[in-house]
Structure formats: C-alpha cells, structure tokens
C-alpha cells in the first residue's frame, strides 16, 4: 500500500500553495513589538539620566557657595539632617501601620478569603491607592489630629505633627504592600500548601511557615516599594507634618520632611538661581540618592530570597 504525502506536514516548512507560512507572518510583527519594547525600556533609562542631568548644575552651583559641612549639619539655614530625620520619622511610622495591615490583608485574601469575598475586598483595598494624597493630608489635619489623637487618645500634639502624618501615610501605602504581597503569596504553588497540610499542619501554620517564607522575596519587594513611596510622598507630610525644621525624635512634634521642604521652596518666594532656590535641587539630589539606595536594597533582597518553582 503506497503512502500519500500532502506536502503540508510539519516537516515540510510550507503551508498551502500561495499562503505564506505562519513563521514568516509572525517575524515582522514580532520585530516591531520587540523594537517598541526596547524603546520603552530605553526611554525609562533616558528619563532617569535626564533627571540627574537637570539636577547636577544647580547642585554644583549650590555647593560652590555652601560648604558640605553646612549642608550636612543639624542646625542652620541649609542644614539637611533635620529634614532627613523628619522623613525617617514619618516613614517608620507609616511602615509600622502599613506592613501589619497590608501583609495581614494579603494573607487573608490569598489563603482564607472565598472567591466571592476576594472579588469584592481586593478592589476595595486597592481603591485607597486612587485617593489623592492632598485628601489624605486634609484628613490628617481635620480628623486624625483633633479627633483621634487629641480627643480619643488624649495625646498632647500640635496642630501639625509627624505622628498624624505617619499614620495617614501608612494608610496610603497599605494598598501597595497588600496588593504586591498578595500576588507573591498567590504565586506559591498549591503543592506546597497541600504537602504542609498532609503533614498535619493547620492553615495558620501553613501560611506562616510555608507560604510566607516561600513568597519572602515578593513580600520584601512590596515592603521596600511601599517605603520608597512613603519617602517620596509630598502633600501629606507638607500639610500634616509641619513646615519648620526640627531635629527631634518625638513624633508628637511637628517637623519638616525633605519633600515638604521641596514643596515649600518651590512655592515661588525664592528667586531662580539664588542659593535658597538651589537648595531645592540639593535636597532633591539627596532624596534621589536615598530612593536609589532603597531600590538597590530591594533588588538585592529579591535576588537573595527568590525561589523558582
């Protein structure tokens, strides 16, 4: 019995007569997509270098008139350490709020919530990320400080204080920590959970001792990303933390942050090119370096604890 060959099999490399093969159809489209993605990545890099280039000249002009010692000082017109301390204070308070709430919400959504509850709760949590930061700032001024801190908790705080700013800042970054952590927890293979339950562990033990360690790289990245957003937030701290430099470790006092100082300096009262105006760029460069270091730490943590399944 003779075999019949159609000439259209996988090994023939050709399709129907007059019809171009699928591989030849895909190549031009794939090349265009690859070029577009490359341009997008290159644009991100160019924007970063553009930001640095825009900061360099005013920063050099600033340090030509102001010594490094006067800039990295605790007191003085151009002292930056009180601003760094205020930024650190509000960021730490924000992380104390956001990490437990965000990680707890992520574990519930990933391990305990039903499909119906998850479908409702996750968009609701992420909705907080869409609230403008200026609204959070006024919320801190009109509710958190007078009602929560002064009336309910009976704390002696000023009209502006880093405690209220940090609490509201923590609420703002909860969606960032919760959403990214939930994605990392959900990516853990179901076989790990089943193996843990088969060994006699309950759901809480499985979540804390198996799922969470397996997703540690993603959780760490979520926390560091939330920290970066807290460090770079402007309107909340500009409205609620205060507008006076104050090197203090008492969160009940008002203190100015780096971003709050930049918002005040850029208000138009300082002539362009003056030393006080160039201070804006010096503080901005320092903030850029701090954020860059935080992101490098995040990348190192992800690579250190990443587990491939």
79: domain CATH number is 1.10.3720.10
Tell me, yes or no, whether 47 lies in a domain.
Answer: no
Residues 6 or more apart whose CB falls under 8 angstroms from that of 222 comprise 102, 106, 176, 177, 179, 180, 181, 184
Tell me, yes or no, whether 57 lies in a domain.
Answer: no
**CB count, 10 Å around CB of 131?**
13
Share of the chain above pLDDT 90, in %: 29
Tell me, yes or no, whether 285 lies in a domain.
Answer: yes
Tell me the mean pLDDT in the region 164-176.
93
Range of the domain at 291: 66-305
Tell me, yes or no, whether 32 lies in a domain.
Answer: no
Contacts from 124-130 at CB under 8 Å and sequence distance 24+? 125/174, 125/175, 125/178, 125/179, 126/175, 126/178, 126/179, 127/175, 128/171, 128/172, 128/174, 128/175, 129/172, 129/175, 129/176, 129/179
**CB count, 10 Å around CB of 233?**
25
Share of the chain above pLDDT 70, in %: 90
Confidence of residue 268 (pLDDT cuts 50, 70, 90): low
* Reported pTM: 0.83
d(CA 215, CA 150): 40
Count: domains in the chain:
1
**Which pLDDT tens digit goes with each residue over 138-161?**
999 999 999 999 989 888 888 889
């Amino acid at each position: 019995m003779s075999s019949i060959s159609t000439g259209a099999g996988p090994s023939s490399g050709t399709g129907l007569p007059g019809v171009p093969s699928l591989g030849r159809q895909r190549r031009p489209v794939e090349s265009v997509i690859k070029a577009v993605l490359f341009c997008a990545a290159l644009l991100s890099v160019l924007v970063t270098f553009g930001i640095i280039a825009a900061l360099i000249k005013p920063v050099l002009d600033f340090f030509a008139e102001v010594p490094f010692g006067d800039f990295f000082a605790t007191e003085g017109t151009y002292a930056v350490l009180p601003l760094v301390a205020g930024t650190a204070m509000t960021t730490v308070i924000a992380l104390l709020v956001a990490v437990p709430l965000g990680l707890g919400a992520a574990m519930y959504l990933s391990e305990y919530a039903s499909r119906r509850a998850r479908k409702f709760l996750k968009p609701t949590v992420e909705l907080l990320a869409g609230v403008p930061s200026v609204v959070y700032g006024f919320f801190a001024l009109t509710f958190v400080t007078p009602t929560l801190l002064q009336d309910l908790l009976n704390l002696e705080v000023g009209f502006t204080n880093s405690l209220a700013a940090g609490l509201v800042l923590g609420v703002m970054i909860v969606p960032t920590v919760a959403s990214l952590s939930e994605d990392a927890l959900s990516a853990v293979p179901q076989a790990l959970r089943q193996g843990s339950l088969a060994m006699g562990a309950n759901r809480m033990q499985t979540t804390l001792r198996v799922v969470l360690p397996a997703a540690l790289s993603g959780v760490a990245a979520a926390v560091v990303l939330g920290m970066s957003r807290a460090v770079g937030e402007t309107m909340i701290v500009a409205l609620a933390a205060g507008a006076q430099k104050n090197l203090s470790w008492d969160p009940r006092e008002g203190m100015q942050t780096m971003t709050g100082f930049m918002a005040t300096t850029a208000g138009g009262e300082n002539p362009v090119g003056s030393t006080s105006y160039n201070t804006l760029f010096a503080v901005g460069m320092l903030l850029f370096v701090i954020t860059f270091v935080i992101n490098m730490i995040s990348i190192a943590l992800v690579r250190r604890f990443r587990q491939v399944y």
